């Protein structure tokens, strides 16, 4: 429990984001790290017992296991525990991590999401990172601020959990398009066009899904889009480059899965959004990336 601003924190997953959170929190807080597949020679952490009496549980995992893990943990969590999610994808039922957490946890314990420009390598290098903390009320946001006090993670509050969740999820899909354009050497002007047009589509899509279009203009939307679409170390930007190279066998990631779930579950009609639809066409026929981009640009002149 909390003692002199020290919290007990359980980190689920020790990949890129799990290690980044460990870096930020290790000096001030009592950490326990759980991995689905512990490294050889390490003592596995028993999940249910580890969850007892935790002040925070950080879900640093893909969205797919969120519902099962949260359902499994709920009986062990005390009412003051706050679950935080970082996943920017959809589960197999087409739910955002926030939707899966809400279905599993109900109102108690509380949960929140952290989305924004948070490249894990930069966090571990001591550089600043920025995020919107999506929570239902200011009290939960205050607790999150206390958790990260003294770290270079700068936070702002949003009550629009739906909006910032979809902004974070969908920008991974769009980020691949920037990689395609860069690999085709279409230039900086094309990048500027994509940024403006992607924001317009995102606003429309998010409004149709029940979020506020304003979410697109803040850290979880525009901030994270710029980071993911332009960073040399961005996985989804690299996926776009790989599409053009014809390396379809290694095209996988949260953005690719998100696109599939949106179509499988009919979450919205992608044909209404030309750039989003273009990404689906590129993934379906990666060897024709150049001709498909040319066709798209020709249609703009009509």
Q: What is the pLDDT of residue 165?
A: 97
- Give all strands of the β-sheet with 82-85 in edge-to-edge order: 30-34, 8-12, 56-59, 82-85, 110-115, 129-134, 153-158
Closest by CA position to 73, among listed 61, 94, 57:
57
* Rounded Cα distance, 1 and 13, in Å: 22
Q: Which CATH number describes the domain made up of 8-159? A: 3.40.50.720
pLDDT at 93 over 60: yes
pLDDT at 3 over 70: no
Q: Are 152 and 254 in contact (CB under 8 A)?
A: no
pLDDT at 205 over 80: yes
Give the pLDDT band of residue 192 (cuts 50, 70, 90): very high
Cβ atoms within 10 Å, residue 51: 24
Q: What is the pLDDT of residue 249?
A: 64
Dihedral through CA 281, CA 285, CA 286, CA 288, nearest 10? -100
Give the pLDDT band of residue 245 (cuts 50, 70, 90): confident
Angle at CA 63, nearest 5°, toward 48 and 127?
A: 95
Mean pLDDT check: name the lowest of 79-88, 132-141, 285-294: 285-294
Give the pLDDT band of residue 79 (cuts 50, 70, 90): confident
Closest by CA position to 211, among listed 257, 170, 255:
170
Closest by CA position to 8, among listed 75, 78, 72, 63:
78
Q: Which CATH number describes the domain made up of 162-300? A: 1.10.1040.10
pLDDT 10s digits, 258-270? 999 999 999 999 9
Q: Would you list the domain boundaries of the chain?
A: 8-159, 162-300
Pairing label, strands 56-59, 82-85 = parallel
**Residue percentage of the chain with pLDDT more than 70:** 97
pTM, entire model? 0.93
Q: What is the pLDDT of residue 200?
A: 96
pLDDT at 1 over 50: no
pLDDT at 227 over 50: yes
Question: 13 versus 245: which is more confidently predicted?
Answer: 13
Mean pLDDT check: name the lowest of 96-105, 168-177, 234-243, 283-292: 283-292
pLDDT 10s digits, 22-72? 999 999 999 999 998 888 778 888 999 999 989 999 999 999 999 999 999
Q: What is the pLDDT of residue 108?
A: 74
Q: What would the mean pLDDT of 265-293 be, rounded to a whole number?
A: 90
Mutual angle of helices 235-245 and 161-183, in 10-degree steps:
40
Average pLDDT, the chain: 92
pLDDT at 210 over 80: yes
Q: What would the mean pLDDT of 85-102 be, rounded to a whole number?
A: 95
pLDDT at 257 over 70: yes
CB proximity list for 253: less than 8 A, separation 6 or greater? 172, 235, 236, 239
* Rounded Cα distance, 292 and 141, in Å: 45
């Amino acid at each position: 429990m909390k003692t002199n601003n020290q919290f007990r924190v359980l980190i689920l997953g020790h990949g890129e984001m799990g290690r980044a959170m460990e870096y930020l929190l290790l000096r001030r807080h009592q950490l326990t790290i759980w991995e689905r597949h512990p490294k050889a020679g390490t003592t596995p952490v028993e999940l249910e017992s580890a969850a007892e009496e935790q002040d925070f549980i950080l879900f640093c995992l893909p969205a797919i296991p969120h519902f099962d893990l949260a359902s499994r943990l709920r009986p062990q969590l005390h009412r003051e525990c706050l679950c935080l999610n970082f996943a920017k994808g959809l589960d197999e039922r087409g739910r955002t991590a926030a939707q899966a957490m809400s279905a599993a946890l109900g109102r108690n314990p509380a949960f929140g999401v952290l989305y924004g420009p948070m490249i894990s390598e930069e966090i571990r290098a001591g550089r600043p990172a920025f995020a919107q903390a999506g929570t239902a009320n200011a009290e939960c946001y205050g607790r999150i601020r206390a958790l990260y006090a003294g770290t270079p993670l700068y936070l702002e509050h949003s009550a629009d959990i739906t909006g910032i969740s979809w902004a974070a999820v969908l920008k991974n899909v769009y980020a691949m398009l920037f990689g395609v354009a860069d690999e085709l050497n279409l230039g900086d002007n094309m990048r500027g066009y994509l940024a403006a047009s992607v924001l317009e589509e995102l606003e429309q899509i998010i409004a149709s899904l029940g979020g506020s279009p304003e979410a697109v203009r803040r850290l979880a939307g525009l901030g994270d889009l710029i980071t993911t679409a332009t960073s040399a170390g961005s996985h989804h930007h690299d996926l776009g480059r790989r599409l053009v190279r014809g390396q379809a066998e290694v095209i996988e990631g949260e953005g690719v899965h998100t696109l599939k779930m949106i179509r499988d579950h009919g979450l919205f009609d992608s044909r209404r959004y030309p750039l989003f639809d273009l990404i689906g066409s590129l993934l379906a026929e990666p060897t024709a990336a150049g001709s498909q981009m040319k066709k798209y640009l020709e249609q703009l002149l009509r």
